Structures are given as C-alpha cells and as structure tokens.
Chains A and B, each alone.
Chain A
C-alpha cells in the first residue's frame, strides 16, 4: 500500500506491466494440481481396447475372461451404452451440406481408425484394467483402408461410410469478383501444389478426466482437463440426460491444451458413462500412445493454388483448390470443416487482391479425426499465399519486401473487406513490414547470404505477412446451432479484508489468463495487484461463458472483467460516500484507499469499508444496503472477429549434404492492440512460433498404406527441443480495437500462423541457386535431399 504524507500515489495502473504469474510461482514450487494429482476415495480406473485396424468390422467381442480377472469392476462395449449416452453429430447449420454420421463413445459395428476405442475396462487399478484388455477376444474382419487424400477423393475407390455416395464430407466454394477474367488478363501467373503434413497436439499433460457420479441426486462432478468447462457441462447434460444444475465441470491446472482439449472424445464420454454405471469416481488418463492415436490431429491439406498478377506486380486474383482429410468423422461440437473454412478464407488476406475463387473439399479417411488446433487454418492459408507471393516476386523481378509492400492493405483502405469476406477494422501491415525490415537489417542479411553462397554455404531468408482471427463473436458457433457461448461473465466480490475476488468464465491453461484478468481488475478498480485473486475453471464457482479458445481470453474476458471492475468501483465509492457523508463523485479509489477526488487526500482504506459494510452496517443509514459484489457480462459486438496482423521472418542455413536445416534467427512484428502484459504477450508469440516451427520442420503423423499410425511415440513423432530452436526477436505495433472497451485483441495464435510459411520460404530461398523447391511439409532432410536431386 503506497501512502506518503497522507496522499495516495497512483500505482494501480497494472495494464501493460510485466507482472509475474502467481500460478507460475506455484508450479515452480511443484504445487501444480492437475487432474491426475487429485486424490479420490474409491477410485476406479479406465482403460480401452482400441482397434488394431484402420478399418474393420467387429464380428464378435468376448469379454468373459476379462470380467473374471480379480480387480476388474466393469467391462462394456459400444452397444452397452446406448441407454446411457445419446450419440452426437459434428455438424453446424452454417456449413450447409456437411455430412457426418452419428458417433458413440465406443465403436459400434465397425472400427474406422487405428486406435479407435472399442471396449472399456474399469478396474481397481490402471494396471489391472490393462491386464484385462489382453484377455478380451475380438473377431475382426478387416476392410480396405482409405488413407491418402487422393485415395479418399478417388471416385472408383472404396467408400468409408456405406450410406454416402462418396468420401466427401463437405464442399465449399468461395468467390469474389471475376477470377477467371483476372487470370485471362494477367501479366504473370504463378502456381504450385503444396502438401502439408498431418500433425497432432502433443500437450505434455495428456487428456485427463475423473468423472464422479452421485446416483442419489443424479449429480455429476467431472474433474476434466479441458479449456471449455461450460461447453463440456452442456455436452454431459444433453448426452447423459442430466439436469444442468446437477452437472459441475472443474478444470484444475490444465497441462497445455492449444485447442486440442475442447473437443468431445469418446474416452471422456465413456468415463462419465462408467461412473454413472458404477456410482463411483472413474479416472481416465490417456497414456502417450493413446494420445497419439486418439487426440485430434490437424492440418492434413493438399492445396493446388494459382496467383495472377499485373505487370506492376499487383496481385489480381488467387484460385485455390484445397483438399483436406479429416478422418472418419467430423468432430463434435465444432466440426472438422472449420479448419478448411478458415484456411480458404485466410488465402491472400493481407493483400488488396480483388478476385478470388476458392474450393474446399473435406474428405473422410481411416485415420484419427482432425479438428481445430492453435491457429486453426492459418498456417495453411499463410503458407500457400506466401509461397505464391515468393514465386511471384521471382517472376516479376521484385524483392520479397517490395512485392509485399505493393500489395498489402494500406491505412487509407480501412475498414476493409477481404476478397474472402473477412471485415478488417484497422490493421497495420505497412508499419509492421517497415519495422521488420529495420529489425532484421535486411540489406546486411542479403550481403551475408551472398558472401556465404560463394563459400558453398546455403542460407535463406523468408518473410510472410499474416492476419490472425481473434475475439470471435456469436457468428462463429452460436449461429450454427452449437451451444458454445460467445459471451463471458465476471463476478467481483469485495472481501471483508478489503481484498478483491474475481471469478470469471475465461480459463487458464498456462497463458496467464488469471494474471491479466487480475491486472485488468486491479487497474479499473484502483487496488493493488496483490490484493486481487482470480478464480477460473469451475462451472459452479464462476459465471457461464465461452472460456478460452480462438484467442478470445484477453480481448473478451478482459473487457468483461473491466466492466465488472468499473461497476464494483462505483458501488465502493457509493458506500464511501455514505460513510463519509459526501457524494460518491467526491471520492476516488486509488491503490486500495478511498481518497478525496479533489486533492487525493486519503480518507479511509478499502479494508475499513469492508469492516463497516460487513460487520457494522448498524452504523449506516436505515435501509441502506451496501452492494458488495457485482456481476457483469460482455458480448462481443460489431464484426464477427477482431483481426490482428503481423509479419514474420526467418534466417536459416540448409546443409545441402545432410538436408538438415539450422534455424539462425526468427523475427516477429505483431499488432494485438492494447498490450495487457508484454512478457506474457511475447511468450505467447514465442510459444506459438515454435508450434509453427515444429510443424514445418519435424512433426508428422505418419500412417502406413493400411492405416497403421507409424509415429505414435515421442521417439518417432519429432517435436521441437531447446537445442534446435532459435531465440526469437519480437517487436510490436499497437492498433487498439474499438470493438471492446479495453482495446485488446488476442495473440495466442499469431506466432503459429506464419512461422511455418517463413521457414518454407527461407529454405526455398536457400536452395534457389541449386534449383530445388520444397512443396511438402514437414521439411525433413529426406525431402530436402530429394528436392536437391541427391537421393
């Protein structure tokens, strides 16, 4: 508390400061509390028999020996759950024509991917449950597996769902202007086909749930590692026929999620079903191989794209044919069409490009289902666009900065609608590009690259502009019929000690949500940051809301907390006015002290307000009822999203003998509006960049021709480690959004959006003198050596 000579000093401007996270201190002391860390009495453990085949009919299941094993409590199959759990379908109304069959917790008559859960065993320990799996006999009839995108698209190959006439789940066409005419009149046309490899989430904490059903009241408490507790509450209510007030979802510490932990998975539904069957708590913690086999995968796309330019190097049009393989089902409740939809709409989005013709084809395959993950669709849209921009730069004879400068949307154009229909409030491409060029000292790098090439060292420079979708409004899911809230809520309570408790519906998975919500509350209330505690992740203790996904926590959650803090402050000043026998307007709240607005003289502490209001209201006027908690909700307004923008660059070296890429430097200039906590913003960007670098260089869910997943361990699925990653230099431009009172936009996905694109461009730049072009990611040494004609 900061008072000197009776006057308060304003220290309570915490927005924009680098405040460390209280939960980081907890984790650094080994005091994290993840689902698997919580002790329960009478706990049973769940394990699954999974399909060893990519595609097979289930002829017979014999569970007798498994049931007889001492310690086994229950064994059940898909048909055993039909009376407990209703099936789900991953469709949204605004993806008209999207088709996908009903899905059940466990496979019903057919298994459709290698790793699909088929039989569940509940036992007194996980070890016993796994022992019992070995005693289950399943008679399978293997069916032909549909694996590759071309394989799925083929009109004369096998069809995955016999009730459909093809393997096509969804087709979308998006046009603007007259792309055909633009290509006819173009001075330059560049085109290529890119293939982006399938990745997975790989959160270090695997998917985890303890479902605890109390049959006496039909009340379910789920301790669930999810980013969206309210969405999961709704899912459990509807599919298990429970009453909403009787379902509580608690998300304790969540060990990474990145979008992977907001989908509905059969295993978690089976855990709830098991707890309902048994009336005791049931735990399922995926082991690492189960995670690889059954967590959502992402970004398997094959894109043929063309770009038309005029003689001045201005982009006239793009034509895009994007085919994506999503596995056997569209994932519930957000659908597996969203990634392709966003990829298609992000094509050419930083640029003035007036004409567009894009087609998305979403295909079924016998692989794990794919769905939304950090930077949904962005890496595909950005990689394809920026690869073509580099090809165009070469064709036109412009350097990579110059061609982008000629084409980016400029300040005089806002608000601007992209050819693909996104409405951009105000972005800062020109400022970001100029800042990047200075930050990386581009002329010096060019000179160094030239000098190195003469010595037989092949270095490359890649740049990429991007926009990022943040702060989604009701048009995102609600309009499509999904019960996923776009609003958030916040309750602020004054404690008797004068401390502040904030409970808010946005959630924390390590990004620092709780800290920035505390910073916003402390700032707009006028109290010390240490006096604010934030509660998240419990449907019973927080207001209902959308939670954290699509880079919405800071922007929408922050605005919600700001509104609640301002309302709480109004209440506190009213109470101060009553106690001090003045008007509320005479006073202000500064650093937890009530001060005279006119001269900042301290009149009383917030603790004194708390004491009087809670314990001595008899000293207040008759019939005066101090309001000591407030709640506020906030609904995003205006356009469907608040876009951010930025530009990234990579400098790297390709060893042309081994095909190994060494990352030398990476730069990001980003504009997320008002920065609430720069260290946390920068670390979101760095973490996001490394997700992108993993995808472009290492990570790949490999399947054999018959659909066996070949990279289902951390020794086979390569992900970035410290020694392979560069330091990442970051700078900012700040264009506040006017769509929220706080002015903050999201930043969680910016790093991932373009990191892969700049590396692809840099590798191709490095190989340019040797004549090889990479078109398939990840850029493995084998693919690089093949592009160089060495193998």
Chain B
C-alpha cells in the first residue's frame, strides 16, 4: 500500500484537504477521491483532452500531472465555473446544437472552449478548429462543436474578454 501525503487545494472555489499517494494523478484524485467525475480519463497520456481542467488559470491535462505537485493550487473542473456566464452560454449552446453525443469528451471540450473564448472572444471558424484540436471527439465530427462555440462567441460583446 502506498504511503499517503497530505495536500490542500482550492477546487471549484472550495478549500479541500486530501491525502494522496505520490503516484496518484490529478485525474484520479479528482475522480476517485473527490467524486468529480466530469473529468474523464480517455488516454492517460495527454493525447485526448478529456481530462482537461484549469490549474491556477492555465489549461492542463490532469492525467499528466500528479496530485502531489499541486499543493496550494486553485483547480477548476468542468463541474465548476459557478456563476460564469460564458460557461453557462457554452453549456446551453452545446446542448442546443447537439455539440456532444456520448458526452465523454464534453467536460474537457467545454474547458478548452472556455479557455479559447476567454483569450480570443471572437475567433474565426478555422481558429476554433485549431484551438480545440487538443480535444478528441469520436462522435460529432466536430462541426456542431465549432458551431456551438461560434454561436457563443457571436453573443459576446466586442470589447469584452467574455468573463
């Protein structure tokens, strides 16, 4: 049995104390210790993007980082983004446009879309396609996802960062 080490984080705005083994990934800590199951493990090697979360404002693959490395970090998962208007709009447009089918990539895809529109509020379609190319979706063929992100962007004020 692995020895456990105490760590603390702020996860989705709440202070959290956890005991983690040195080899527990952030994905496994979130999923199996916190029960935050919207972060999915699709490949566990950083290729598919299903485990994408935000750590201290930066988008990261939670499968490529150990939970013990993040003591003191602020972590936002797909379940989070409370009172975030941009995420609300993305969620609504994803559902309305059927920009997800099985839903397994969706958590990571929404985090990537939120990151894109936070930095570039009015991207061209080609730029949307480029920026979500770290997130694999086997179901949709991507067009509906591009449409949903594009529609969300069109509703954003021209000057605003979208937050």
Give A residues with C-beta under 8 Å from B: 20-21, 23-34, 36-37, 39, 70-71, 124, 127-128, 202-206, 253-256, 258, 287-288, 509-512, 679-680, 683, 686-691, 713-715, 719-725, 727-728, 751
A-facing residues in B72-104 (Cβ within 8 Å): 77-79, 90-92, 94-98, 100-104
Contact B142 A202 (CB under 8 A): no
CB-CB nearest 3 A-B residue pairs: A30-B38, A27-B103, A510-B101
For B132, list chain A residues within 8 Å (CB).
Answer: 722
B8 at interface by CB-CB < 8 Å: no
Alpha-carbon gap, A444 to B21, bound state (A): 63
Alpha-carbon gap, A458 to B20, bound state (A): 56
Contact B1 A70 (CB under 8 A): yes
B159 at interface by CB-CB < 8 Å: no
15 sample A-B contacts, Cβ–Cβ < 8 Å, listed by A number: A27-B103, A28-B95, A28-B103, A36-B31, A202-B138, A204-B42, A204-B104, A287-B44, A511-B101, A679-B97, A680-B98, A683-B141, A688-B141, A722-B128, A722-B133
For A36, list chain B residues within 8 Å (CB).
Answer: 31, 37, 41
For B105, list chain A residues within 8 Å (CB).
Answer: 204
Contact A722 B146 (CB under 8 A): yes
Q: With both chains docked as a complex, state the minimum distance between the C-beta of B96 and any C-beta of chain A, in angstroms.
A: 5
B129 at interface by CB-CB < 8 Å: yes
Q: With both chains docked as a complex, state the minimum distance between the C-beta of A772 and any C-beta of chain B, in angstroms.
A: 29
User: Nearest chain-A residue to B144 (Cβ)?
Assistant: A683
For B110, list chain A residues within 8 Å (CB).
Answer: 28
What is the interface of chain B mostly: helix, strand, loop, or mixed?
loop
Partner of B101, one of A128, A687, A691, A715: A687
For B157, list chain A residues within 8 Å (CB).
Answer: none
User: Nearest chain-B residue to A751 (Cβ)?
Assistant: B141
B140 at interface by CB-CB < 8 Å: yes
Q: Given A32-B104, A39-B35, A127-B23, A723–B50 Cβ distance below 8 Å?
A: no
Contact A723 B133 (CB under 8 A): yes
Partner of A28, one of B37, B106, B130, B139: B106
**How many B residues have CB within 8 A of the partner chain?**
58
B40 at interface by CB-CB < 8 Å: yes
Contact A32 B103 (CB under 8 A): yes
What is the interface of chain A mostly: helix, strand, loop, or mixed?
loop
Alpha-carbon gap, A256 to B48, bound state (A): 14
Partner of B141, one of A25, A70, A254, A690: A690
Q: Given A204-B48, A719-B138, A288–B43 Cβ distance below 8 Å?
A: yes
B117 at interface by CB-CB < 8 Å: no
User: Nearest chain-B residue to A684 (Cβ)?
Assistant: B101
Alpha-carbon gap, A205 to B132, bound state (A): 19
Binary contact readout B95-135 vs A (1 if CB under 8 angstroms, 0 otherwise): 11110111111110010000000000000011011101111
B17 at interface by CB-CB < 8 Å: no
Q: With both chains docked as a complex, state the minimum distance between the C-beta of B36 and any C-beta of chain A, in angstroms.
A: 8
Partner of B2, one of A20, A23, A127, A510: A127
Contact A721 B100 (CB under 8 A): no
B45 at interface by CB-CB < 8 Å: yes
Contact B138 A725 (CB under 8 A): no
Give B residues with C-beta under 8 Å from A: 1-2, 21, 23, 31, 35-38, 40-45, 47-48, 50, 77-79, 90-92, 94-98, 100-107, 110, 125-126, 128-130, 132-146
For B36, list chain A residues within 8 Å (CB).
Answer: 30
Alpha-carbon gap, A611 to B77, bound state (A): 44
Q: Given A254-B102, A722-B132, A727–B2 Cβ distance below 8 Å?
A: no
Contact A21 B98 (CB under 8 A): yes
For B106, list chain A residues within 8 Å (CB).
Answer: 27-28, 30, 32
For A128, list chain B residues within 8 Å (CB).
Answer: 1
Alpha-carbon gap, A687 to B104, bound state (A): 15
For A205, list chain B residues within 8 Å (CB).
Answer: 40, 42, 102, 104
Q: Given A21-B95, A512-B98, A723–B129 Cβ distance below 8 Å?
A: yes
User: Nearest chain-A residue to B90 (Cβ)?
Assistant: A28
For A722, list chain B residues within 8 Å (CB).
Answer: 128-130, 132-133, 135, 137, 142, 145-146
Q: Given A30-B38, A288-B43, A722-B133, A686–B143 Cβ distance below 8 Å?
A: yes
User: Nearest chain-A residue to B147 (Cβ)?
Assistant: A727
For B47, list chain A residues within 8 Å (CB).
Answer: 713-715
Contact B137 A204 (CB under 8 A): yes
Alpha-carbon gap, A680 to B140, bound state (A): 10
Alpha-carbon gap, A20 to B93, bound state (A): 10
For B142, list chain A residues within 8 Å (CB).
Answer: 690, 720-722, 725
For A21, list chain B residues within 8 Å (CB).
Answer: 95, 98
Partner of A24, one of B35, B48, B100, B107: B100
For B1, list chain A residues within 8 Å (CB).
Answer: 70-71, 124, 128
For B130, list chain A residues within 8 Å (CB).
Answer: 722-723
Contact B100 A28 (CB under 8 A): yes
Contact B95 A34 (CB under 8 A): no
Q: With both chains docked as a complex, state the minimum distance between the C-beta of B43 and any C-beta of chain A, in angstroms.
A: 4
For A687, list chain B residues within 8 Å (CB).
Answer: 101, 138-141
Contact B45 A714 (CB under 8 A): yes
Alpha-carbon gap, A511 to B78, bound state (A): 22
User: Nearest chain-A residue to B146 (Cβ)?
Assistant: A722
User: Nearest chain-B residue to A31 (Cβ)?
Assistant: B38
Q: With both chains docked as a complex, state the minimum distance between the C-beta of A197 and any C-beta of chain B, in angstroms.
A: 18
Contact A24 B136 (CB under 8 A): no
Alpha-carbon gap, A410 to B135, bound state (A): 44
Alpha-carbon gap, A715 to B23, bound state (A): 23
